[in-house]
Amino acid sequence: MRISGGVAKGRRTATEKLPGKKVPGERLRPTSSKVREALFDIIRNRLEGAHFVDLYAGSGAVGFEALSRGAEHVVFVEPDKLRTVMIQKNIESLGFSGNASISRTDAEKFLKKAALDSGGYDILFLDPPYRSEEIEKVLPLIGSSKILNDDGLVIVEHFFKKTLPRAAGRLILLKQYRYGDTMLTLYRKDRE
């Protein structure tokens, strides 16, 4: 994968073939460069100094792009040991050691633990396996906790035919963007 913008623009990350789980719908499917470009165009004014979570990190492509483009800190959430080893190698080789951390757990456990912590995040990016029910599990956790800062964003990458809820706890759907078979759905906290 090649980083498309920011201080690490043009640099490649290690993209060793990783033996992912052989469960249908759980194959590693990195966010395409077209969708990454669109995503970072959408959030460009919110990224500088942001605390960002790449919730289903996989290869870490989105998190590395966020770091390159000015995020202060990125948490890569990924339960697979081999993938986290690759992410750690990339953190070090790209010079992001002081700005990144890895949480080797699944999204639900990470969110439940983060809900107990005092600090929040500015941007949460969710790109779960397309055929899973992960979105339905984690959006309510985010919407009913203080994980997301008051002016923060939740961005969900999903198959365009999947219908997401208009609200989940305090989260309300803000906008949707379609790129081929991929949809980006943005949520923010209800300010009432």
Bridge partners (DSSP) listed for residue 101: 75
Q: Which amino acid is at 166?
A: R
Share of the chain above pLDDT 70, in %: 83
* Predicted TM-score of the model (pTM): 0.87
For the chain, list the domains and their CATH numbers: 33-189 (3.40.50.150)
Confidence of residue 147 (pLDDT cuts 50, 70, 90): very high
Residues 6+ apart with CB under 8 A from 118: none
CA distances in angstroms from 45 to 39, 40, 41, 69, listed in the order given: 12, 9, 8, 11
Between the CA atoms of 53, 72, 103 and 162, what dihedral angle is there, to the nearest 10 degrees? 10
pLDDT at 25: 39
- pLDDT, tens digit, for every residue of 74-98? 999 999 999 999 999 999 988 899 9
CB distance 75 to 103 below 8 Å = yes
